[in-house]
Amino acid sequence: MTRILTYGTFDTFHYGHMEFLRRAHNLGDWLAVGVSTDKFNNIKGKQTFLPYETRIQILSGVKYVDLTFPETSWEQKRDDIIKYNIDIFVIGDDWRGKFDNLGDLCRVIYLPRTPDISTTQIKNILSFNR
């Protein structure tokens, strides 16, 4: 069984997220998603439209997602890869090169983003500029 891992905020869940999760799951058999907590987003200087519990609720209902767990720090990735026995770390190509250092533990794949849709765009439409 090939085990896949990704991380993200997945705020205002949209088609680009669904496409990403579909392609991520198709790289193997089992997909875990580390979802950034509201506290971790605060540390990053980001505020979400939807709280952590709601973002988790949506992701848990997606058929491509087998496990969700909280992402609370930048440093946890290596421990998570070992804990969940991960074969492939995958993330969108907006992060290209940023996680190559995990390559000693598993394969690292950057998937092309779906064009013309993002949380930032949706927040702008909602005039959510908190």
User: What are the residue numbers of the active site?
Assistant: 44, 46
- Nearest approach in angstroms of CB 55 to ligand CTP is 9
Strands 88-92 and 67-71: unpaired
Give the C-alpha separation, 118 to 129, whole Å.
15
Residue closer to ligand CTP by CB (options 20, 40) is 20
Say whether 71 sits in a helix, a strand or coil: strand
Stretch that binds ligand CTP, among 13-21, 56-64, 67-75, 77-85 (CB under 6 A): 13-21
Q: Which two tokens stand for residue 104?
A: 């000693």
Task: Give the binding site for ligand CTP (CB under 6 A).
Answer: 8-10, 16-17, 20, 91-92, 94, 113-114, 117-120
